[in-house]
Amino acid sequence: MRSSVIEAAGVSKSFTIPSSRRETVREHALDFFRPRAQERLRVLESVSFELRQGESLGLMGRNGSGKSTLLKIVSGIYPADSGRVDVHAAVTPILELGVGWNPDLDAIDNIELLGTVMGMTLKQLRAATSEILEFAELEKFAHLELRHYSSGMAARLAYAVAFRAVRDVLILDEVFAVGDAGFKERCQQRYRDLHRAGHAMLLVSHEPRTIAAFCDRALLLEDGEIVLAGSAETVAHRYLELLTDGPALSARSSLR
């Protein structure tokens, strides 16, 4: 049996609702003697799963079900409130890549900034810059400041860097929803190549066909709980039922 690269056990997470927070020195000073209850929003509740070497695991769920939070916890960007996540391999997360560049820098400088954050050396990045720009079809705009890029161009650049920076495990959030048909096809081909090369993948998508086509297994999240774990086709089908007002799922009944 293949060894596991990510093990999550009983992971829970909640956030303080911003409207109930004091956010300035002034608010803390003036409201010092006025107690204010902090409202917490539960996002994940005792989530457990395992990702094995070379496996492609899909993650589905409606908006607000906790998918992105789970990916960030597994990537080490957010800490869990309780539970345990053991990651036994180097992870490359591809999350929220469409936003958050330095708009005052051109594409090449931004490639170096994002690439070094993702663990590449400058030598590797400089050798790969042409390939990255070609993958994103942005060779002509290499010296253009990012402030002049459209959101689609910025997203293509980000995915091109991230797909070049892949280490052992790839964690992707809605990667195939970016760019035109040609760019999507290149991303899908790169995904297949990486999977074939033995990389483990954790893929979030709202698109049942994507999960069914690219994943070996899948999980369905609803209100922060895993309500279904099974084959990619089964989970994709169940997700569609959920969207079309199918019977409410509960964690206990579905996993039974």
Partner 1 sequence: MVSVAITRVRQGHAPFAGLVWTLVRTDFKTRYHGTIGGFVWALLKPLTMFLVLMAVFSYVFANDPQYKLDLIIGLFLYEFFQESTKAGLLSIRAKGYLLTKARFPSWIVVVTSASNAVITLALFSLVLVTFLIATGRAPTLGSVALYAVYQVLFFAMVAGFSLAASVLFMRYRDLNQVWEVVTHAGFFVAPIIYPLGILPERIHAYLYAWPPTPIILFSRSVLIDGRAPSPLAHVLLVAEALAILGAGALIYRARSPRVAEEL
Which spans of this chain sit near partner 1 (rule: CB under 8 A)? 9-11, 15, 23-26, 28, 46, 72-93, 95-97, 99-102, 104-105, 109, 112-114, 116-122, 125, 167
Nearer to partner 1, 78 or 141 (CB): 78
Smallest distance, partner 1 to C-beta of residue 85, A? 4
Nearer to partner 1, 109 or 233 (CB): 109
* Tokens 């594409």 found at: 107
Residue 184 gets the label, from left (phi > 0), alpha (psi -120 to 50) or beta, of alpha
Nearer to partner 1, 45 or 222 (CB): 45
Nearer to partner 1, 89 or 213 (CB): 89
Q: How far apart are CA 229 and CA 48, in angstroms?
A: 10
Q: Is 30 helix (H, G, I), strand (E, B) or coil?
A: helix
Which CA distances in Å does 27 have to 2, 16, 37, 48, 250? 54, 17, 14, 39, 41
Smallest distance, partner 1 to C-beta of residue 251, A? 15
Determine contact, residues 226/219, Cβ cutoff 8 Å.
Answer: yes
Nearer to partner 1, 105 or 213 (CB): 105
Smallest distance, partner 1 to C-beta of residue 147, A? 12
Nearer to partner 1, 102 or 250 (CB): 102
What DSSP designation does 178 have? S
CB contact set of 16 (below 8 Å; sequence gap of 6+): 38, 39, 40, 41
Which residues does residue 221 pair with via DSSP β-bridges, in sequence order?
61, 226
Smallest distance, partner 1 to C-beta of residue 84, A? 5
Smallest distance, partner 1 to C-beta of residue 162, A? 8
Smallest distance, partner 1 to C-beta of residue 181, A? 26
CA 74 and chain centroid, separation = 9
